[in-house]
C-alpha cells in the first residue's frame, strides 16, 4: 500500500483519492447510513433549540443532554425568553448536562449575540454559526446538516478516530481534521458520510479494541498496512 500513501507535512499520512472513494463506497454498502427518523440535533423543533441542544451536548451523554434541553425549553423557547430567565433558573434546568455554570454563561452570550447580530434568526453558514458563543466547528456542521440540509460531515470523537486511523483525513485538532476531510471526501458522500463514519467508529473501529478482523475497509486502512 505504500505507493498509495500521500505524505503531507501538515496532515501526515493520507490515503490517495482513489482509496478515499473506495472507503466511502464500501462503508455505504455495509452500513445503514442516515435513517429516515433522523431529525435535528437531539430531536429539537427549531433551529434555535437545535443549536442550544448542541451547545448543551458538550461532554454530556445524549440522555442527559435530552433531559437538560427538555427542562430548559419548558421554561423558555426563544432567545428573548431565555434572556429573561435568572441564571439560577438556567443552571438548574441544564444541570443534567453537566458543566452547567459554563454552559449557562454560554447560553446567555449565545442568545445576546443571536439577537444583536442576527435579529434572533439562527444563521445558515458555518462562518456565521461559529460567531455564536458555544458553537464550534462540530456544532456548526451538525446544525448545517440536520437543520439546513447542507452537505457536510461533522467530525466528532468517533469520526476523528476513524479518519486518523484509516488515513481518510488528518489534522492536529478535530476542526483541522474536518477541514481536511471536506477537501478529500467525494461530493456524493457528504450527505451520509457522517453517519457511515460514526457508525463504523461505534461498531468496528472502536477506541480501545477495534475489530480489525471483521472490518470491511481493512484492506485500505493505513493503521493496519502502512509501515
For residue 227, the number of C-alpha atoms closer than 13 Å in the C-beta half-sphere is: 3
- Residues 20-67 have pLDDT tens digits of 999 999 999 999 877 654 544 546 789 999 999 999 999 998 899 999
Question: Can you tell me the distance from the alpha carbon of 119 to that of 187, in angstroms, rounded to the nearest whole number?
Answer: 33
Cα→Cα distances 12→5, 112, 190, 224, Å: 10, 41, 23, 16
User: Which pTM does this prediction carry?
Assistant: 0.85
Q: How many CA atoms lie within 13 A of 59 on its CB side?
A: 7
CB 74 within 8 A of CB 56: no
User: Which of 42, 67, 103, 138 is labelled catalytic?
Assistant: 138
The pLDDT mean for the chain works out to: 90
Beta pairing partners, 7: 13
Q: Residue 85 in contact with residue 92, Cβ under 8 Å?
A: no
CATH architecture assignment, domain 41-146: Orthogonal Bundle (1.10)
To which residue does cell 498509495 refer? 4
Choosing from 16, 89, 156, 218, the catalytic residue is 156
Domain ranges, ordered by start, for the chain:
2-36+152-225, 41-146
Whole-angstrom Cα distance, residue 191 to residue 144?
A: 11
- At residue 225 the predicted structure's pLDDT band, cuts being 50, 70 and 90, is confident
**Confidence bin at 7 (pLDDT 50/70/90):** very low
DSSP track, 81-114 = HHHTS-HHHHHHHHGGGS-HHHHHHHHHHHHHHH
156 assigned to active site: yes
Residue 108 scores a pLDDT above 90: yes
Fold of domain 2-36+152-225: Endonuclease Iii, domain 2 (1.10.1670)
Respond yes or no: is residue 202 known to be catalytic. no
Amino acid at each position: 500500500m505504500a505507493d498509495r500513501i500521500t505524505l503531507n507535512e501538515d496532515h501526515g499520512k493520507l490515503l490517495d483519492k482513489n482509496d478515499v472513494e473506495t472507503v466511502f463506497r464500501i462503508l455505504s454498502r455495509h452500513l445503514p447510513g442516515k435513517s429516515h427518523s433522523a431529525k435535528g440535533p437531539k430531536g429539537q423543533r427549531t433551529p434555535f433549540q437545535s443549536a442550544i441542544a448542541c451547545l448543551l451536548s458538550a461532554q454530556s451523554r445524549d440522555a442527559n443532554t435530552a433531559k437538560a434541553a427538555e427542562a430548559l425549553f419548558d421554561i423558555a423557547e426563544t432567545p428573548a425568553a431565555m434572556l429573561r430567565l435568572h441564571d439560577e433558573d438556567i443552571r438548574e434546568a441544564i444541570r443534567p448536562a453537566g458543566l452547567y455554570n459554563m454552559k449557562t454563561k454560554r447560553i446567555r452570550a449565545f442568545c445576546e449575540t443571536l439577537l444583536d447580530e442576527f435579529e434572533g434568526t439562527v444563521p445558515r453558514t458555518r462562518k456565521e454559526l461559529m460567531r455564536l458563543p458555544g458553537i464550534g466547528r462540530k456544532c456548526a456542521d451538525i446544525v448545517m446538516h440536520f437543520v439546513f440540509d447542507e452537505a457536510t460531515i461533522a467530525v466528532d470523537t468517533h469520526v476523528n478516530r476513524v479518519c486518523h486511523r484509516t488515513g481518510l483525513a488528518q489534522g492536529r485538532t478535530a476542526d483541522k481534521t474536518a477541514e481536511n476531510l471536506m477537501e478529500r471526501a467525494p461530493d456524493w458522500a457528504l450527505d451520509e458520510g457522517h453517519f457511515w463514519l460514526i457508525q463504523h467508529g461505534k461498531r468496528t473501529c472502536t477506541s480501545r479494541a477495534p475489530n480489525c478482523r471483521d472490518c470491511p475497509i481493512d484492506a485500505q486502512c493505513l493503521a493496519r498496512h502502512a509501515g
